[in-house]
Structure 1
Amino acid sequence: MTTYLGALAIIALSLALLMALAWVVRERTGNSGWVDTVWTFSVGLVGAGSALWPVFGHAPNARQWLVAGLVALWSVRLGTHIAIRTKGISDDPRYAAFAKEWGFDAPRRMFIFLQNQALGSVPLVFAVFVAAHVPEPALRVQDFLGAAILLIGILGEGLADAQLRWFRQDPVNAGQVCDVGLWRWSRHPNYFFEWLCWLAYPVIGLATGYAWGWASVLAPVFMYWILVHVTGIPPLEQQMLRSRGERYRAYQARTSAFFPLPPKAMVKGVTA
């Protein structure tokens, strides 16, 4: 137990320090988009490091290397995507709205906000740690199943991001709401597939007689809460309603918010 609690403490401290760095980058550049870039690479770095953490003096086994590779792959894909997007904007509208609301107290409150984000990320990284340290030396079928789930999540999120980018690049779609491809089935398919990635860790981490494995369930639970109720859907949809108005309200009425579902039929502007 001491080893696991020690790892939990180091994970929390590492994330706190890295999100303090994200605050410095945000203050220096004035572009809050770099916050999400730093967060993604931080979770990947600390996650991969925790996966390879030697327990009881043993060298990392195949499962540890597998889990480290999975979280690193997720981090590089998403972090690179966010970094490229951030280079093309002056600020992230979600964080900019927070800063405007906070006024002169924005720097202090942003620091606290990012430290809370670091704290909320601890269950995610700890899930990676406990999944990597399942006390069975050989890889099992569920290890490969977890890897497949994460790869599907990465591919789905990448496809959703690409479809949105292609839609925005067409001048004909200026001012319109993207409702093609995966975006016809979910208002936030990229968030759904992001959540799916974190479902991989309880699939890997749950094992008979391994009580710590239940901590891996916190990853998809916390990610769902963050995306659906905190920093994901709520501020983004407020921004979309301000910029797209009734077009986005109609899109909300016919399209599932998170889980991909067939769109509702519209009859004279009313959902059927």
Structure 2
Amino acid sequence: MWIIDVNNLAICAIVTVAMQFMFFLVACSCKFDKVTDFAGGTNFVVLAVMTFLISWTFSTRQIIATVFIVVWGLRLSGYLLYRIIKIGTDNRFDDKRENPLKFAIFWVFQAVWVFTVSLPVIFINAPRSADRYDYVTPQDGIGFALFGLGLLAETAADLQKFNFRNNPANKGKWCDTGLWKYSRHPNYLGEIMVWLGVFLISTSILQGGQWTAVLSPVFTMSILLFLSGIPLLEKNSDERYRTNEQYVEYKNRTSPLLLVPPPCYSCLPSPLKCLVCCEFPLYNYLDGENQPIKAKDSESTPVTQQPAPNV
């Protein structure tokens, strides 16, 4: 079983590196931003479909997991492609387009991201995985529900923010409508739920070294919570709107990740916000140097943003 998994992993790694390298050549030589995110999303689809066809076992779990990844990947890559075509350029690469080495580092990271996060579906689609528990287990049910809710949340959040930004009346404002009223990053909540769901589905068949599939949700959460996800977006928003009293109020009354009614969230003590709602001190740049600041919410309750030891 382990030899077969190694072969599957090797094939997936080679395909991922080759696919990202080809897209990198296009993006680097043409200084073209429009294929970058598309390359990531479609790579997930390619790995899922490829491992599904290689196994040739077509168990119920393999079919469901593969369909899940195809729907998620096509939805994400299609949305990101449409968005970048409409926007024109991606400012994440403003300091990288002219430097092939710095640009290549991003593509290497993207290849690592695709391969690592795809581990659960790679193992689910392994040829002999169909021999184990080809019926719906409790963790399958939870995984299906988490994936469905996560995909719904991510899709709704993306559409709401896209429509908000396309409204000329909202120029210079931050999105606080729909799910964004209850979370500052509902799209990231959906993304985390999606990959937690896929991992839970895979736990029905994981054995031995296959438990490295846990790296999928761990990697996703680490990137979004502590590296280039929430921390970067919070810093950019704080630097842009820190003098806007309404924005400070919004930030203090709105959960960074989980969907929580603002009146409930604003009443929570700071330690509970941090431990339960992921309001890490690293997300606070309102004073310009990531130090504690005080602000009032709309109900005149003093709220202190503590500095902390945040994608």
TM-score of the superposition, structure 2-length normalised? 0.75
Alpha-carbon distance, 1:14 to partner: 1.4
Deviations 1:116-144 (A, max 9, x none): 22123322112211233444252214434
Quick check: 1:198–1:220 contact (8 Å CA) kept in 2? yes
In structure 2, the residue matched to 1:193 is: 190
Moved more, 126-135 or 220-229: 126-135
Identify if the C-alpha distance between structure 1 residues 231 and 43 changes in structure 2 by more than 3 Å, giving closer, same or farther: farther
Q: CA separation in 1, counterparts of 2:205 and 2:165?
A: 48
For the pair shown, the structure with the greater C-alpha radius of gyration is 2
Code of the residue aligned with 1:79 in structure 2: it is S
CA gap of 1:121–1:9, structure 2 versus 1, over 3 A, is same
1:113 partnered with 2:106? yes
Distance in 2 (alpha carbons) for counterparts of 1:88 and 1:147: 33
Distance 2:248 2:20 in 1: 35
Name the counterpart of 2:177.
180
Partner-residue secondary structure (3-state), 1:140: coil
Aligned to 1:139: 135
Please report how far the alpha carbon of residue 206 of structure 1 lies from its aligned counterpart in structure 2 after TM superposition: 1.3
Counterpart of 2:118 in 1: which secondary structure? helix
Give how far 1:75 is off: 0.6
**Shift, 1:73, TM fit:** 0.7
Q: Please, which moves more after superposition, 235-244 or 216-225?
A: 235-244
Listed one character per residue, the Cα deviations across residues 74-129 of structure 1 (whole Å, up to 9, x for unaligned) are 11111111011010122212232x428xxx5x211211221122123322112211
CA distance in 2, matches of 1:63, 1:52: 14
Measured against aligned partners, the alpha-carbon deviations of 1:13-56 in whole angstroms (never above 9, x if no partner) come to 211111112322322443435311111111221123224432xx
- Contact 1:130/1:215 (8 A) holds in 2: no
Identity %: 27
Gaps of 5+ in 2: 267-296, 305-311
The alignment covers a number of residue pairs equal to 264
Aligned-pair Cα RMSD in Å? 2.6
Greater per-residue helix proportion: 1
State how far apart, in whole Å, the 2-side matches of 1:2 and 1:221 are: 25
- Return the TM-score normalized by structure 1: 0.85
Q: Secondary structure at the match of 1:70?
A: helix
Is residue 206–residue 213 contact of structure 1 (8 Å, CA) maintained in 2? no
Stretches of structure 1 lacking an aligned partner (at least 5 in a row): none
- What residue in structure 2 maps to residue 259 of structure 1? 258
Give the counterpart letter for 2:303 in structure 1.
Answer: T
Report the counterpart of residue 290 of structure 2 in structure 1. Answer: none
- Alignment match, 1:122: 115
Q: Distance in 2 between matches of 1:269 and 1:91?
A: 42
Q: 2:65 aligns with which of 39, 64, 67?
A: 67
Aligned position for 2:292: none
